[in-house]
Amino acid sequence: MVKFAGLDKVKGSIQAAREIAVGNVLLGKLQPTTHTMLDELIARAQEQVPVDTGLLRSEVINAAQIHSTSLDASITFGGLAAAYASVQHNRENFLHPGGGTDHFLFGKSHSAWEAGERDAEQLFDRDASDVADKYISKAGK
């Protein structure tokens, strides 16, 4: 039997690729990317949040949770006034003399998510590729 030099490295790389595919290795390593994307989304949304007293803009909760095969993220504006923020977000017939607009976070072409969706996808694609390359190449050494 002929043993190929470097076969163990290839096996290590294949095993690392499997770990990324079936576990939350990649998701865990993308946590900083997730927080960067959420921070950018919040900054864009805050520019569009309706302003009366400033409460909705100033009180923002952002949470990202990694599960075994998925990543869930949520952003809540308004703090204790979150229900009011939801109404402001969804009602298209409200006037906003102090500035801001409806659907400031998602749901319309002018929303913060839709405006930054392509950039977020590119950020995740780039970082996921980098993480996978580093993880797999390190395992193959």
Number of independent structural domains in the chain: 1
Tokens of 30: 């993308």
pLDDT of residue 6: 53
Give the chain's end-to-end CA distance (angstroms, integer): 23
Q: Which three-class secondary structure state does DSSP give residue 75?
A: strand
In a domain, 141, yes or no: no
Instruction: Yes or no: say if 98 and 50 are a contact pair by the CB < 8 Å rule.
Output: yes
Range of the domain at 115: 7-135
pLDDT of residue 32: 87
What is the band of 54 on the pLDDT scale with cuts at 50, 70, 90?
A: confident
pTM for this entry: 0.77
Q: What's the residue count for the chain?
A: 141
Q: Beta-strand (E) ranges in 22-95?
A: 60-66, 71-77
In a domain, 96, yes or no: yes
